């Protein structure tokens, strides 16, 4: 399949869903096709213009397609493609984890907002393999500015998934480590990352993954199923 587009930021926000709106469009389409007006009602905080842009970008990425019905007033519905539906178990697990997180901490948590964007997912993901100093994270994410990295670390600390470890001989300025809460979502994050790599291979999306050095040490087997639950493909990524 030819390369369709080169992405500077992950087209799926860590796993392909970049930004809050796209995440919830994708999630709401899991239950079936939707018209534009239905999506507007389900996503009242998303403007008409932004919804139009995000639907177009998801279509270009191979996530959905438009189903047009020929009639006097043309009816258009948005439908997930079959490959895009394979992420359903992961999205639903993340939604359930968000509900558990809110009950456990008493804090509001929108997984698409908190884990979306360009860098937060990767900072969290890198810490799954062990404690990191600030300079380690800078080396592993060289395209993230010092200021942006500081902002993401602070946000993760406020969420309760990260803590700062006191200075030691090996790390005189201290280290960053995941809390037990942050570690609990690790298996799901690894599956989401694996799915994102599989998705880019399937659709021809050209994206330079910022954590490839970690993946070389952590091979993951990803099993993709269709809507009937049958295995489409089992790949090691």
Percent share of the chain, pLDDT over 70: 70
Q: Which of 9-18, 128-137, 197-206 has the highest mean pLDDT?
A: 128-137
- The residues, ordered by sequence, that sit 6+ positions from 135 with a Cβ below 8 Å of its Cβ are none
**CATH fold group of domain 19-80:** Arc Repressor Mutant, subunit A (1.10.10)
Q: Are 78 and 33 in contact (CB under 8 A)?
A: yes
Is residue 29 a contact partner of residue 15, using CB atoms and an 8 Å limit? no
Could you tell me which of 140, 133, 139, 136 has the C-alpha nearest to residue 167?
133
Residue 6, pLDDT > 90, answer no
How many helices (DSSP H) and strands (DSSP E) are in the chain? 12, 9
Q: Which of 7, 170, 30, 190 is nearest to 95 (CA)?
A: 30
Check for a shared fold between 19-80 and 112-184.
yes
User: What percentage of the chain exceeds 90 in pLDDT?
Assistant: 27
Tell which wins on pLDDT, 208 or 89: 89
- pTM for the predicted model, two decimal places: 0.71
**Which pLDDT does position 212 carry in this prediction?**
56
Instruction: Report the mean per-residue pLDDT for the chain.
Output: 78
The predicted pLDDT at position 166 comes to: 82
- Give the C-alpha separation, 107 to 204, whole Å: 38
Query: Domains of the chain: which residue ranges?
Result: 19-80, 112-184
| Residue 136 or 224, more confident | 136
Give the architecture (CATH level 2) of 112-184: Orthogonal Bundle (1.10)
Residue 132 DSSP code: B
């Amino acid at each position: 399949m030819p390369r369709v587009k080169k992405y500077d930021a992950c087209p799926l926000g860590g796993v392909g869903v970049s930004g809050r709106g796209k995440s919830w469009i994708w999630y709401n389409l899991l239950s079936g096709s939707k018209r534009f007006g239905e999506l507007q009602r389900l996503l009242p905080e998303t403007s008409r213009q932004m919804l139009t842009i995000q639907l177009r970008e998801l279509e270009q990425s191979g996530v959905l397609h438009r189903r047009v019905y020929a009639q006097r007033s043309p009816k258009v519905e948005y439908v997930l493609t079959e490959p895009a539906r394979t992420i359903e178990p992961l999205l639903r697990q993340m939604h359930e984890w968000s509900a558990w997180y809110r009950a456990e901490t008493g804090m509001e948590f929108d997984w698409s907002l908190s884990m979306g964007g360009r860098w937060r997912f990767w900072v969290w993901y890198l810490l799954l393999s062990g404690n990191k100093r600030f300079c380690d994270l800078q080396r592993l994410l060289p395209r993230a500015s010092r200021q942006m990295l500081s902002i993401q670390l602070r946000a993760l600390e406020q969420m309760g998934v990260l803590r700062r470890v006191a200075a030691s001989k090996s790390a005189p300025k201290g280290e960053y480590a995941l809390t037990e809460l942050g570690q609990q979502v690790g298996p799901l994050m690894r599956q989401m990352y694996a799915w994102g790599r599989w998705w880019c291979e399937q659709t021809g999306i050209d994206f330079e993954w910022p954590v490839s050095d970690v993946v070389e040490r952590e091979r993951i087997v990803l099993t993709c199923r269709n809507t009937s639950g049958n295995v489409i493909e089992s790949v090691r990524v």
